[in-house]
Chain A
């Protein structure tokens, strides 16, 4: 079974600074998808960025980028120019082959942004 590990339960960053959130996963599949979701106090899970394992190029979405290391099974999220609105729980998630909707989530990490 696939597992996703987020070893840092909490992090803080100063507004306008850069922060990196770490995530590792375990799988025997060769092709899969990885995601970072954000969950603000409203509780709604919001997709931040996604990466297909088959693609070697790291995904970027505006201030958000990933460092995908397939051999190391590592998928970290970098947030540049942090904003107060970035404060939330961040979850790393895995989706395997077969077209299933099933996402396997990590336990999450609480990000605090200090003004």
Chain B
């Protein structure tokens, strides 16, 4: 089975620009979660998608948005980039039922740098 893949690996953007990050879920998984990991910090939950619908959101502004497609792959879009958006963005896929019953499988992340 293929794991979770994220693209691109690294990305450099300018403040005010928009960015799209992509994530392919592990085969058989219908739930995708996105996390932001700032340097020296633990990951912070951005949102979760289940069967193409947002199903939970963390404390992030509306300029962070997402999509989940019928094949359960996902995108994270960030508009009007700010310097503080510089971070590692992690995608995790799972089956429904919560992280205990259906462990999250993480990708290797996208490192976003905003200058």
Q: Could you say which residues of chain B place their CB within 8 Å of the CB of A43?
A: 88, 90, 108-109
Inside 8 A of A47's CB, which chain B residues have their CB?
A: 103-104
Q: Is A25 an interface residue (CB 8 A)?
A: no
Q: How many residues of A contact B (CB 8 A)?
A: 24
Check if B41 sits within 8 Å of A101, measured CB to CB.
Answer: no
| Cβ-defined partner of B44 (8 Å) among A99, A100, A105 | A105
CA distance A91 to B40 in the complex (A): 11
Most chain B beta-carbon neighbours within 10 Å: one of A4, A33, A91, A102: A102
The smallest beta-carbon distance between B109 and chain A, in angstroms, is 5
Q: Which of B44, B98, B107 contacts A101 (CB 8 A)?
A: B98
Task: Give bound CA distance, A95 to B97, whole Å.
Answer: 12
On whether the beta carbons of B43 and A45 are closer than 8 Å, the reply is: yes
A46 within 8 A of B: yes
> Closest chain B residue to A37 by CB distance?
B106
Are A91 and B43 in contact, with the CB atoms below 8 A?
yes
Q: Are B104 and A101 in contact (CB under 8 A)?
A: yes
Chain A residue nearest to B99 (CB atoms) is A95
In the complex, the answer to whether B56 meets A101 with C-beta atoms within 8 Å is yes
Q: How far is the CB of A37 from chain B (nearest CB, A)?
A: 8
Is A44 an interface residue, CB under 8 A from the partner?
yes
The residues of B that contact A42 with a CB separation of less than 8 Å are: 108
Instruction: Give the shortest distance, in Å, between B73 (CB) and chain A (any CB).
Output: 17
Within 8 A of B (CB), among A64-114: 91, 93, 95, 99-108
